[in-house]
Amino acid sequence: MLRTTLFSFFLFSFLIAQAQYKDPKGYVPSDNNQEVPFKYDWERNATYKKYKRESYYLMMRDSVKIAIDVYIPKVKKGHHGKFPTVLHQWRYWRDFELKWPYKWLSKAPNGPLGKFFKQVIANGYVLVSVDSRGSGASTGSRAYPWTQEERDDMT
């Protein structure tokens, strides 16, 4: 029994390893230049080099203040300022502020997703980053993760 199971496992693993992905027949990349349809060069396509950051508090029904940062790409005069928006809801500090002299080395947003967020903003998206209830600069508290109040705040 064990020998049969091991043989089946190794045979299945070998067959999976030998399988190769093939494009569906008739597939043509949308830009005729890339082989993978979801590959995107964020840095090459960045058009907005600067952005501004605005910080706010949103007052909830129970008087808890939810901290948000809004990052808006700066547009040239004469251009419209309408952008799609990315909402980032975070439970572990939406951002942190570096102290002198380090603040001169990096501009917000910082943190583990800071570089990605900067690329998103540079590509013409407004980023709204939110601290959840009881975390970061938001007030209030939560007894456990994903309380009903926290879920209501984020919807």
Average pLDDT over residues 52-69: 90
Strands 85-90 and 51-59: unpaired
Dihedral angle of Cα 32, 34, 37, 41, to the nearest 10 degrees: -120
Residue 133 lies in a domain: yes
Q: How many domains does the chain have?
A: 1
Please indicate, yes or no, if residue 30 is contained in any of the structural domains: no
- pLDDT score for 57: 93
Is 90 exceeded by the pLDDT of residue 33? no
CA distance 153 to 58: 10
Q: What is the mean pLDDT of the chain?
A: 75
Q: What confidence score (pLDDT) does residue 138 get?
A: 84
Contacts of 29 (CB under 8 A, 6+ apart): 35, 36, 37
Output 116 or 6, whichever has higher pLDDT: 116
Quote the pLDDT of residue 96.
Answer: 60
Residue with tokens 């970061």: 136
**Token digits for 21?**
């992905």
Residue 107 is part of a domain; what is its CATH number?
3.40.50.1820
State the pLDDT at residue 95. 64
Write down the pLDDT at residue 59. 92
Is residue 141 in a domain? Answer: yes
**Residue range of the domain that includes 119:** 51-153
122, part of any domain? yes
Decide if 118 is inside a domain.
yes
Confidence of residue 56 (pLDDT cuts 50, 70, 90): very high
pLDDT value, residue 45? 75
Q: Which residue has the tokens 């005069």?
A: 77
Confidence of residue 13 (pLDDT cuts 50, 70, 90): low
39 part of a folded domain: no
Nearest residue to 119 via CA among 38, 48, 26: 48
Question: Does any domain span residue 74?
Answer: yes
